[in-house]
Amino acid sequence: MKTISDLSISILVGSLIILTGCGPKYTIEEQDGYSLVHNKGGQTLGYVPDSGVEIIEERGYAFKDLNRNGELDGYEDWRLPVDERAHNLVKQMSVEQMAGLMLYSGHQSIPVRGRGYFGGTYNGKLFEESGADPEDLSDQQRQFLTGDHLRHVLITSVESPAIAARWNNNVQSLVEGIGLGIPTNTSSDPRHRTNSNAEYNAGAGGRISMWPGSLGIAASFDPDLMKQFGEIASVEYRALGIATTLSPQIDLATEPRWSRFAGTMGEDPKLAADMARAYVDGFQSSDAAEEISDGWGYQSVNAMVKHWPGGGPEEGGRDAHFGYGAYAVYPGNNLKDHLEPFIEGAFKLDGATEMASAVMPYYTISHNRDTKYNENVGNGFSRYIITDLLRDTYGYDGVVCSDWLITADVESVDIFGGKSWGVETMSVAERHYKAIEAGIDQFGGNNEIGPVLEAYEMGVAAHGEDQMRERFEKSAIRLLRNIIRVGLFENPYLDPDETEQTVGNPDFMKSGYEAQLRSIVMLKNRQQLLPLKEHLKVHIPRRYIAAGSNWFGMVTPERWEDPFNPDIVSKFFEMVDTPEEADFALIEIDSPAGGTGYDRNDLEAGGNGYVPISLQYGVYTAENARETSIAGGSPFEEFTNRSYRGKTVTARNTTDMEMVYEVRKGMGDKPVVVVVNADNPMVFAEVEPVADAILIHMGIQDQALLEIISGGTEPSGLLPFQMPANMKTVEEQFEDVPRDMDSYKDSEGNTYDFAFGLNWSGEINDSRVSSYK
């Protein structure tokens, strides 16, 4: 075996070095800051000579000596099967290194700006004051990579694709030169959402291709479209250095009030399963030219499906990011349907990768589902949910990563922070140990190794050193598989110029725009009003946005905004200021923002704090709500009944409804077209009667809507969920049962049920409808 320093150089052509002596089968190409080693008929290696890693040769092929011992170890040999490499590496890892592998960082922007949970420093200073380059690593990133042995990083916003590529190279060169040279597996939440005001120009590129959300793609009822999204998104992700996607969200959307409804693939088990399968196949499969083995390769992105065993059936629609939404309930005893997108979709792929490589359990306590240990604890702490159900019953042996901050401390049921539902009174280390005992491999949002090592010592005291080491090795092997099979051990480096050319290229932008067109659902078209001729005069009222606050308590002030980009509208129609001047009116509204289900003002006034979540704009009193909640109980509450029966709420955006009526009055008999940006189902009885045409979407560019309205493209989308007739049916439906509401019937006689949609000819009744409805 030889190192590169033992070999003779016979030819130097530009940056390409051709090696001779003992018949090497590789060439070395110098790049900006790193080197590429091209093995003839084998894998291409990327490394930074200054990191201390050398190239060693065996039988003419080149390999990276990642642990710098001068020998070819099994995990360094790209010819060996993935599991053999992972087992070889694990035996060389210390407990500290395995514990670091079990960490998953908090959210990292590139560069990191500001202070607080998402903030950071560069040489002790804020980025703006530091003089650092945007691709530099923050102090905190260097600490968790070197001191805590962390190798899984979640990135959020990036200044540009090229900067993301350079940051990736800086991270990989750092970790390549320490310890065993384990590369970083960078991940992302979904990042292909649209900018509604952006203009699509055929042949023009963008920062990243823009697609409707998963619910919008599901409205196409075409799994092939979802697969195409995955195929394109995975190429863009790998060009950014992202090798794991924290998606898809395949919770079955059986509870229409849930605030995460828009991230799902709808409420039908079969449709959601087909879409989940297509999504994961698209992300994980590499083309033949990029394949390493078994479908995996340099285009592959590990898919972390979420949230096992389904986060949809939240009682009253309250979300489990907060203690007031800790409980998932099953009044219809219907866990089965919620498992279908996993076991018949993400775990049963058409492609060679076979199943999603990672799973994230939700924060929820799956109330009374544990029939073996009789525990009501968050899914990440439940041995029944993870080991008995996921692993033993359904044979899943991929990574199980907790949702973010499940081991952190909780302050209150309504303060954003830790989410350790059911184990709030335990210490941070005890929660880590309980999660490991339940079957968790990795801790989302934890940058610090200390609690994991404390949990290890608890396990040693309970089971002995050998058994606890074996338990850590089991998780480490699962985690290493996902790094090895996407080629990161061989070449984790990126060419920033290629990244710029790949991400948001014109072909990808075109595909995303076409998908947006297919995601639009037309619900109403009185007297075939649509399509409208171009260049008609249109009145578009400005929208009032009430003041509000996000999950983190950050307040947004009230404001007025243009719902459509005037420059784009003017390419289709002539904009006028008043209804009197207009040929038609175009209104865009959001579905009702009916609250979170909890109000501290109610608590301070002597109530229990729990209030309805409304799917209508106007005043709503929950006369048909449960008198006693199914689930309840928290160390921060002295009661268990979370009922909100008889309480009243009004949607935050009730002005949207008022605007529709005001414009209707001003337009007289002239047509009014209403567009709804739907985050949730809604009670259409309030606005439908005064609209001549209604279109809904789940996040698209204005231009796509205008192309539909003007007849450039015929609408083809179908509802992937029901629209309720009223709030009574919302209260009486079961949170865990799909398609069990009375659907709204409009003034034209159409029922807004699952799989309903119109085209220019009327109600769509094609093979998609017959297949799924």
pLDDT at 553: 72
Neighbouring C-beta atoms of residue 446, cutoff 10 Å: 26
User: Looking at residue 555, what is its pLDDT?
Assistant: 81
Predicted pLDDT of residue 117? 75
For residue range 321-362, list pLDDT tens digits in order.
Answer: 999 999 999 999 999 999 999 999 999 999 999 999 999 999
Cβ contact 441:399 at 8 Å? yes
Instruction: Give me the phi and psi of 27, to 5 degrees please.
Output: -130, 155
Q: 698: burial class by Cβ within 10 Å (0-12, 13-18, 19+)? A: buried
**pLDDT at residue 115 greater than cutoff 90:** no
- Residue 149 pLDDT > 50, yes or no? yes
State residue 8's pLDDT score.
37
**Portion of the chain with pLDDT greater than 70, in percent:** 96
Q: 158, 268, 250: which is closest to 207 by C-alpha?
A: 158
Confidence of residue 18 (pLDDT cuts 50, 70, 90): very low
CA distance 158 to 173: 19
How does the average pLDDT of the chain come out, rounded?
A: 95
Round to whole Å and give the CA distance between 472 and 474.
5
Residue 626 CA: distances (Å) to CA of 248, 413, 511, 615, 641: 32, 21, 46, 17, 10
| Residue 198's pLDDT band (cuts 50, 70, 90) | low
Intra-chain end-to-end CA distance of the chain, in Å: 64
Lowest mean pLDDT among 84-88, 118-122, 517-521, 596-600: 118-122
Alpha-carbon distance values, 155 to 152, 417, 570, 763, 769 (Å): 10, 19, 37, 43, 39
Residue 5's pLDDT is what?
A: 41
Percent of the chain with pLDDT over 90: 92
Report the alpha-carbon distance of residue 343 to residue 366 in Å, rounded: 18
Which residue bears the tokens 């005064």? 690
Show the CA angle centred on residue 336, arms to residues 245 and 323, nearest 5°. Answer: 65
pLDDT of residue 556: 84
Q: Where are the alpha helices (DSSP H) in 488-599?
A: 496-502, 506-519, 566-569
What distance in Å separates the CA atoms of residue 108 and residue 509, rounded to the nearest whole number?
26
pLDDT of residue 106: 92
Chain centre distance of CA 182: 25
Residue 750's DSSP bridge partners are none
Longest dimension (CA), the chain: 88
Contacts of 603 (CB under 8 A, 6+ apart): 609
Residue 316 has a pLDDT of 98
pTM: 0.95
Residue 621 has a CB neighbour count (10 Å cut-off) of 14
Q: Report the alpha-carbon distance of residue 211 to residue 190 in Å, rounded.
A: 11
In which residue are the tokens 């493209």 written?
A: 713
pLDDT at 10: 38
Distance CA 318, CA 201 (A): 41
Distance of CA 31 to the CA centre of its chain: 33
CB 37 within 8 A of CB 26: yes
Question: Does the pLDDT of residue 619 top 80, yes or no?
Answer: yes
What lies within 8 Å, CB to CB, of 541 at 6+ separation is 563, 585, 587, 659, 662, 663
Does pLDDT of 3 surpass 50?
A: no
Q: pLDDT at residue 23 above 80?
A: no
Question: What pLDDT, in 10s, does the model give residues 637-661?
Answer: 999 999 999 999 999 999 999 999 9
State pLDDT tens for residues 233-270: 999 999 999 999 999 999 999 999 999 999 999 999 99
Q: Give Cα separations from 521 to 222, 399, 470 (angstroms).
A: 14, 37, 53
Count of CB atoms within 10 A of residue 199's CB?
14
The strand pairing partners of 446, in sequence order, are: 104
